[in-house]
């Protein structure tokens, strides 16, 4: 396949599901045949409703896949996106008796002894658990997250089925090697199934971002938290993709998009500790003191980036933002994708190679470009598979996070905001020069790094002013009333 054809594609990859090893082979045989049969048959069906039925019937890891599909508004047909969106907060529910059974098994008290009020109707049901509103004896309102009773055993079975399916597909179609997906599923779900791990993540992130007054992380009630039950502060708000909610509550959608961009840019490029499940059901928005508050929920899935990867990825993004094709190739090769660096850049940005070459901050995203991406995606699956197998494992969850964040941008119609590129540029620069300072062994070296960072941030500020000027009434007035000579020096009032 010609390289120029490959580079036409802009596609976001991702890893959307997780599961764990099975230790009970008898249970696997009993349950797995039915569950794997559903998956195998459904792979031949195209209807979105049938996909939704599959996810709801199997639950667990299958729902997580469906949630991911429901976020790809820029990539999938609208019928699939609208159908699968229901899984973001309305996945299949467990009956109340099962919920009470899990709570009482874990906390060793009856629900009536633990809570003075317990809403029998869940606030939302997700792939691994569902959340109920309750009230403690001291009057505090809490959210009670309870794991679905059989989710661990079902997830183990799902893993066996998915692993078998991937192996069969790899044998029949050698170009399609998705072993990376199985590896990620085995690694990630045990963490998500341990709610004490999630609680620790929540406190760690709350501490890391205490300098963002607009970010809310629910506090944890540790005395009522176990592996399968998590009790936390109740926080109310609308889903981050609910544009109507924001309009009704006078919340600025651009402000919301900018804050989320700032939060995740700092996570990815500076802290290297990234929340990898920002689907709309996990990110709420509320108006507090005339500004938008972002509420980040579900801290079960994080990835930790190494300093080397984080710095190289920052440089790769800067080369994209600067439309520096040689640097894109250089850092793409360092990240392991070799000659597929152009496709990798398209996957990272969800833009075509033509847009990347001209500058994604200069060439507006058009419906034609998005149609081209959707039409071409299926043609390059072997190459996409090759990229996903070559990149560092850390990159796989970054792909998923990028998918979900772009889905939010499309819902809010803020995907063309220049503010997101400027924010990303600032954090990439901060990451690169922070790494330089770590390598310094003299005061002079540190000073040079500080000056270098100051200069790069200053240039970004100048560019920001320039963009403001282009959109300002001053520029419009000058364009309408002044004439600039060819040499760019003489001005003449018309």
Q: Where are the beta strands (DSSP E) in 123-178?
A: 124-125, 129-135, 141-147
Measured between alpha carbons, how far is 372 from 490 in angstroms, rounded to an integer? 45
What φ, ψ does residue 237 adopt, rounded to 5°? 175, 175
| C-alpha 493 chain-centroid distance | 51
Burial class of residue 420 in the structure, from the number of CB atoms within 10 Å of its CB (0-12 exposed, 13-18 middle, 19+ buried): buried
CA-based end-to-end distance of the chain: 56
Task: Report the alpha-carbon distance of residue 91 to residue 287 in Å, rounded.
Answer: 27
DSSP 3-state percent helix, strand, coil across the chain (nearest 5)? 60, 10, 30
d(Cα 483, Cα 489) in Å, to the nearest integer?
11
CA distance 195 to 300: 7
Which pair of structure tokens corresponds to residue 108? Answer: 């060793």
Burial profile 243-258: b = 16 or more Cβ within 10 angstroms, e = fewer: bebbeeeebebebbbb
- In the set 277, 298, 361, 403, the catalytic residue is 277
> What is the spatial distance between Cα 424 and Cα 114, in angstroms, rounded to a whole number?
45
CA distances from 440 to 135, 216, 443 (A): 54, 36, 8
Question: Residue 420: phi, psi to the nearest 5?
Answer: -65, -40
Is 277 in the active site? yes
DSSP 441-466: -SHHHHHHHHHHHHHHHHHHHHHHHH
Q: What residues does 118 pair with on adjacent strands?
A: 134
Contact status, residue 341 vs residue 43, Cβ threshold 8 Å? no
Helix, strand, or coil (residue 215):
strand
Q: How many C-beta atoms surround the C-beta of residue 382 within 10 A?
A: 13
Rounded-to-10 torsion of CA 71, 75, 15, 391: -140
The two structure tokens encoding residue 207 = 């501490």
Q: Do 161 and 36 form a contact (C-beta atoms < 8 A)?
A: yes
Catalytic positions, written as ranges = 277
């Amino acid at each position: 396949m010609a390289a120029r054809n490959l580079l036409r594609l802009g596609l976001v990859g991702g890893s959307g599901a997780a599961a764990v090893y099975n230790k009970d082979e008898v249970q696997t045989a009993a349950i797995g045949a039915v569950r794997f049969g559903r998956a195998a048959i459904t792979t031949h069906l195209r209807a979105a409703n049938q996909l939704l039925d599959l996810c709801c019937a199997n639950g667990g890891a299958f729902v997580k896949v469906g949630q991911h599909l429901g976020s790809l508004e820029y990539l999938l047909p609208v019928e699939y996106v609208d159908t699968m969106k229901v899984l973001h907060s309305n996945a299949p529910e467990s009956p109340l008796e099962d919920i009470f059974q899990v709570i009482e098994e874990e906390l060793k008290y009856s629900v009536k002894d633990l809570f003075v009020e317990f809403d029998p109707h869940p606030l939302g049901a997700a792939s691994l658990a569902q959340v109920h509103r309750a009230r403690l004896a001291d009057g505090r309102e809490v959210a009670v997250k309870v794991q679905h009773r059989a989710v661990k055993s079902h997830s183990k079975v799902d893993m066996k089925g998915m692993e078998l399916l991937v192996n069969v597909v790899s044998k029949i179609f050698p170009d399609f090697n998705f072993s990376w997906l199985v590896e990620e599923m085995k690694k990630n779900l045990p963490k998500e199934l341990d709610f004490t791990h999630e609680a620790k993540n929540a406190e760690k992130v709350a501490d890391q971002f205490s300098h963002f007054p607009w970010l809310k992380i629910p506090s944890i009630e540790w005395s009522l938290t176990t592996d399968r039950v998590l009790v936390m502060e109740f926080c109310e708000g609308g889903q981050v993709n609910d544009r109507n909610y924001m309009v009704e509550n006078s919340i600025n959608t651009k402000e919301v998009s900018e804050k989320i961009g700032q939060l995740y840019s700092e996570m990815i490029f500076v802290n290297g500790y990234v929340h990898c499940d920002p689907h709309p059901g996990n990110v709420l928005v509320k108006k507090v003191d005339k500004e938008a508050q972002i509420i980040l929920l579900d801290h079960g899935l994080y990835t930790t980036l190494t300093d080397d990867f984080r710095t190289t990825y920052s440089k790769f993004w800067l080369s994209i933002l600067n439309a520096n094709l040689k640097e894109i190739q250089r850092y793409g090769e360092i990240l392991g994708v070799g000659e597929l660096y152009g496709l990798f850049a398209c996957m990272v940005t969800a833009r075509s190679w033509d847009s990347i070459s001209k500058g994604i901050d200069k060439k507006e995203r058009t419906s034609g470009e998005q149609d081209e991406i959707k039409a071409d995606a299926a043609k390059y699956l072997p190459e996409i598979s090759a990229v996903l197998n070559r990149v560092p494992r850390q990159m796989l969850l970054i792909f998923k996070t990028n998918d979900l964040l772009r889905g939010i941008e499309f819902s809010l119609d803020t995907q063309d905001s220049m503010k997101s590129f400027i924010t990303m540029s600032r954090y990439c620069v901060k990451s690169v020069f922070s790494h330089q300072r770590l390598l310094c062994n003299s005061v002079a070296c540190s000073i040079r790094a500080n000056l270098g960072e100051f200069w790069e941030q200053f240039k970004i500020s100048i560019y920001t002013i320039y963009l403001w000027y282009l959109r300002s009434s001053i520029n419009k007035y000058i364009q309408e009333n002044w004439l600039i000579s060819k040499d760019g020096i003489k001005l003449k009032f018309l």
